Amino acid sequence: MSDVKKLQDYPDISFIEATSFESLKDQMVQDYQKRYKELTGEDVILAPADPDRLILYSCAVAIYQGLQYEDKAGKMGLLKYSTGEFLDNLAAFKGVKRNEAVPASTILRFTLAAVLSREAVIPVGTRVKGQELYFETTERTVIPAGELSVDIPAVCQVVGKTGNGYRAGDINTLVDPLPYTLKVQNISGTSGGSDRETDEELTERIYLAPSSYSTAGPEAAYEYWVKSYSQSVEECKIISETPGEVDIYVAITGEDDAEAFRKQLEAFLRNDNRRPLTDHVIVKAPEEVSYEIELTYTISLSDKDTEETIKAEVENASRNYAKWQKKIGRDITPARLIYEVMKAGAQSVTIAQPVYKEILDTQIAVAGTLVIHYGGLKDD
């Protein structure tokens, strides 16, 4: 169970108890009638269309809205409920800061058509285009006199994962003209781009943060530091079968050189402020276990008017299942796929693939092809 899921096991609370809008309206009418009798000695019954009742209802709307704000304000101070900027401020109490989006990066090689007798300047911010996105150089560089080329680091102008995945040679159109003939292309794939940390991801790190206060070596402490290192970390599993030996299995995304990334993470974790002096930390890749998804589903005839919506929801549910399944050590569980598809609105579902398979703590299930067959509308 993830640490965010553990939070959901804590009791639900309300700062306005069980107050509903209907109960508030009724209570205001009752209070009005009671007070009226106290002041006049006469009973009064406010009819549904009575102007005084309508005024009370209008006041109830404003009061109930205020109660909702009160409830939200209280909950925003609790990790289970907090979101957005409220969560950012809650994180500050634990010394945690949300990871912002990072642009993908690469190395661009600028090559002259012929050797020059003077140096050729490549200004910082020189743009080169791929299929859709622009990358810009991050430093001013020169091609020395007598040389033909120079390599310059560059980043995508759009932050996030969207800039990942370009192969070497894909970025090759010079946008900003220079006073000499140049050929340019990326000599490495683009990687390292990550999206802004979500509320759920930040909540989990806040929950894990107290474990990082000591280098006593608990699993939660290593998990906190691994997830704080980079947004490229999708999933991690800490295994220590022998005292002093810690194997950390990490699934990553958006990195062109996964092995180099793991080595850098390993060096980060070996800092004495993050691990006990006696721990030997090794970062490894989990063994991938591939599986296919193939299912057939039907929709109830009574849901004919929403048929297309349900079909789209079933496809989304199937893809969401693949994301849920991609967790180190999580068994391949077709029952979860059935649950997701039925929740999306299907009347029935038959799973051809996958079948249940046990996954080791050092393995991760990765979906291959997704095949969805629609069986049409069926009577209830």
List, as one string, the DSSP characters of 266-285.
Answer: HHHHTSTTTS-TT-EEEEEP
pLDDT in tens, 26-65: 999 999 999 999 999 999 999 999 999 999 999 999 999 9
* CA 140 to the chain's CA centroid: 35
| DSSP structure string for 116-131 | -SS-EEE-TT-EEE-S
User: Quick one: 191 exposed, middle or buried, by C-beta within 10 A (0-12, 13-18, 19+)?
Assistant: buried
Cα 311 vs. chain centroid, distance in angstroms?
25
From-to residues of CATH 3.30.300 in the chain = 214-285
The yes/no answer on whether domain 214-285 falls in CATH 3.20.20 is: no
Of the candidate ranges 175-184, 213-222, 262-271, 294-303, the one whose mean pLDDT is the lowest:
213-222
4 pLDDT more than 70:
no
Model confidence at 232: pLDDT above 70: yes
Does 230 or 86 have the greater pLDDT score? Answer: 86
Closest CA to 277 of 343, 216, 325, 322: 216
CA triplet 208, 272, 218: central angle to 5 degrees?
A: 35
Q: Is the peptide bond before 354 cis (omega within 30 degrees of 0)?
A: yes
Q: Which of 144, 134, 133 is nearest to 110 (CA)?
A: 144
For the chain, where are the E strands, in sequence order? 103-112, 120-122, 127-129, 134-137, 141-143, 149-159, 173-174, 182-186, 233-242, 245-252, 280-284, 287-300, 348-353, 363-378
Mean pLDDT over each residue of the chain, to the nearest integer: 90
Better-scored residue on pLDDT, 186 or 270 = 186
More confident of the two residues 219 and 204: 204
pLDDT value for 380: 77
Summarize the confidence of residues 102-108 as an average pLDDT: 94
Express each pLDDT in 251-288 by its tens digit: 988 777 888 889 999 888 887 666 665 678 899 999 99
Interatomic CA distance for residues 167 and 23, integer angstroms: 62
pLDDT band at 3 (very low <50, low <70, confident <90, very high): low
In the numeric block, which tokens belong to residue 67? 């109660």
- Cα separation, 38 vs 109, whole angstroms: 89
Report which of residues 49 and 380 the model is more confident about.
49
The pLDDT of residue 214: 58
- The answer, yes or no, to whether residue 365 has pLDDT greater than 60, is yes
In the chain, the percentage of residues whose pLDDT exceeds 90 is 71
pLDDT of residue 199: 94
Question: In this model, does residue 148 exceed pLDDT 70?
Answer: yes
Burial (0-12, 13-18, 19+ Cβ within 10 Å), 310: buried
Neighbours of 232 (CB within 10 A): 21
Q: What is the pLDDT of residue 276?
A: 61
**Confidence category of residue 213, pLDDT binned at 50, 70, 90:** low
- What pLDDT is stored for residue 195 in this prediction? 92
Per-residue model confidence (pLDDT) at position 80? 92
Q: Is the pLDDT of residue 205 over 70?
A: yes
pLDDT at 245 over 90: no
Which pLDDT value is given to residue 229?
87
Q: How confident is the model at residue 212 (pLDDT cuts 50, 70, 90)?
A: low
Give yes or no for residue 92 having a pLDDT over 80: yes
Residue 217 scores a pLDDT above 80: no
Of the ranges 131-140, 250-259, 267-276, 301-310, which one carries the lowest mean pLDDT score?
Answer: 267-276
| Contact predicate 327/364, CB 8 Å | yes
Q: What does the pLDDT read at residue 1?
A: 47
Mean pLDDT of 337-356: 96
pLDDT for res 272: 66
